[in-house]
Amino acid sequence: MPKTTIDAAGSPLIRLKGAVQQYPWGRTGSASLAARLAPNAVGPEFKLDEKESYAEVWMGTHKNGPAHLYKTPSTSLQSIILTDPARLLGAPVHDKWPDTPQVPFLFKILSIEKALPLQAHPDKSLGERLKKEKPDLAPDANHKPEIAVAIGKPLPGEDADISFTGFVGFKPLEEIAANLKDVRELRDAISDRAAVDTFVHSPSREGLKKVYAALLTHGAEGKAKAHVEALAQRVKEGAKAVEGLNETQARLVRKVTEQYPGDVGVFATTFFMNFVTLKRGEAIYIGADEVHAYLEGDIIECMAVSDNVLNSAFAPPEEIKQQVPIFLEMLTYTARPASHWALPVKPYAHSLQRRTSAYDPPLEEFTVLGTSLRPGPGGVGGDGRRERLGAVGGPTIGIVTRGKVRVSAGGDALDLEEGGIVYVVPGNEVQVELLQPDGDGEGEVWWAACVA
């Protein structure tokens, strides 16, 4: 019988206490997946308030929401790592980043009710510069590329099986030019008629940069509000009044305006950016300096360890005024169809019973894994309740999102209900067993791993 009393100093498994983050865009009360997972993710001291927004669960060593040991909450995961970083991070990770002995990724659950700020994350060089010159804008000298995997239930008002929506990257240039030609309020909000005309007749990356800068700058100055409100009123009046907009655009203008009335972000997202929809299990990858604004749904998110973000809309005016100039300068202005940001799912090479899929971005810091379990036959060996994950050279963090699961390694075991979080020390094969499925007959564990 496996041991179940875990000694953090020497065990291959450490149960963690994550951190809940409350932001205004999070889902409210028990509607939030972050809140529903919190009793096991952060412990019995979590008290749900049905009037509060619960946006994220953080799992990692970042100082803005560090994980602690579940049974001894006064002890941080980071402090344990510092006692023996070569073992607890793995020699490959420790050797690669010897000056920053920390988990190289930040793993999260997000539960989104309304649009996040229109944002981008600085690359390493800009992050290093901002940390020195404007540490209030960039607390970390690191980049923050990220992935998002949809894990929630289908959203009301969307096509069947769509469980996440968001704005990601710029649309193809020709589509943006068509919107500028068709929507008079958008042209009026930009106000630079010469830049608009040049871009409409000859779309280019430099032209996009000029018109987008004019739009967001006017927004930061409060000069776009009346034009956003004018279009919102047209949309409200019905189909005949909405000349120049297709059905999806009209719906998005209405939806985002209800959340942020008069905000220039209504224009900056709907008419410039790709509207992305994901079914459960589908994913996107967003590199550094790429514009995005998630809109609705429950997701797994993982990123290189950083909390750097610059906002340009859907945020307090004083914050916008300070950040818009840097935001506009840092963007890549990559203009592609939504498929450009899709991250394919593939079989995980270290999944010994074929119950785990991998989301592998072009990064050194992490791979995201999803393990699906269910009673009955399935995978290699014919038992859908069990999975074995081969040892990897870097740290792994897992969270149970469906059912009750036993995680075992090196003779130790943890029984985890939904929200339970585990840290796996590098070099250990992990066995996963479904003890009790959820109401849909499923078990599910999501992992972030540095597969060094």
Q: Are residue 18 and residue 162 in the same domain, yes or no?
A: yes
Q: Check residue 1 and give its pLDDT.
A: 39
Name the band, by pLDDT with cuts 50, 70 and 90, for residue 379. low
Question: Per mean pLDDT, which range of 16-25, 124-133, 178-187, 321-330 is the poorest?
Answer: 124-133
What does the pLDDT look like over 201-228, one tens digit per residue? Answer: 999 999 999 999 999 999 999 999 999 9
Residue 334: inside a domain: no
Average pLDDT value over all residues in the chain = 95
- Residues 410, 385: contact at Cβ < 8 Å? no
Residues 6 or more apart whose Cβ sits within 8 Å of residue 101? 81, 82, 85, 89, 94
Is residue 135's pLDDT more than 60? yes
Q: Report, as an integer, the average pLDDT of 94-101.
A: 95
Name the band, by pLDDT with cuts 50, 70 and 90, for residue 2. very low
Domain tally, the chain: 3
Q: Residue 219, CB half-sphere, CA atoms under 13 Å: how many? A: 34
Q: Are residue 19 and residue 136 in the same domain, yes or no?
A: yes
Residue 178: inside a domain: yes
Q: Are residue 53 and residue 132 in the same domain, yes or no?
A: yes
| 299: CATH | 2.60.120.10
Residue 433 host element (H or E): strand 430-436
Q: Is 292 annotated as a binding residue?
A: yes
Looking at residue 182, its amino acid is: D
Q: Report, as an integer, the average pLDDT of 279-288.
A: 98
Q: Are residue 235 and residue 140 in the same domain, yes or no?
A: no
Is residue 382's pLDDT more than 80? no
Q: Check residue 243 and give its pLDDT.
A: 75
Residue 2: inside a domain: no
Question: Per mean pLDDT, which range of 5-9, 77-81, 383-387 is the poorest?
Answer: 5-9
Q: Are residue 50 and residue 155 in the same domain, yes or no?
A: yes
Is residue 256's pLDDT more than 90? yes
Q: Is 322 annotated as a binding residue?
A: no
What does the pLDDT look like over 389-434, one tens digit per residue? Answer: 999 999 999 999 999 999 999 999 999 999 999 999 999 999 999 9
Give residue 315's region: left, alpha or beta (phi > 0; psi -120 to 50).
beta
Q: Is 121 annotated as a binding residue?
A: yes
Backbone angles phi, psi at 410, to 5 degrees: 55, 35
CB-count burial class (<10 Å; 0-12, 13-18, 19+) for 325: middle
Q: Is 119 annotated as a binding residue?
A: yes
Helix (H, G, I), strand (E, B) or coil at 273: strand
Name the band, by pLDDT with cuts 50, 70 and 90, for residue 242. confident
Domain limits for position 235 = 172-271
Is residue 300's pLDDT more than 60? yes
Q: Are residue 47 and residue 153 in the same domain, yes or no?
A: yes
Residue 147: inside a domain: yes
Residue 340: inside a domain: no
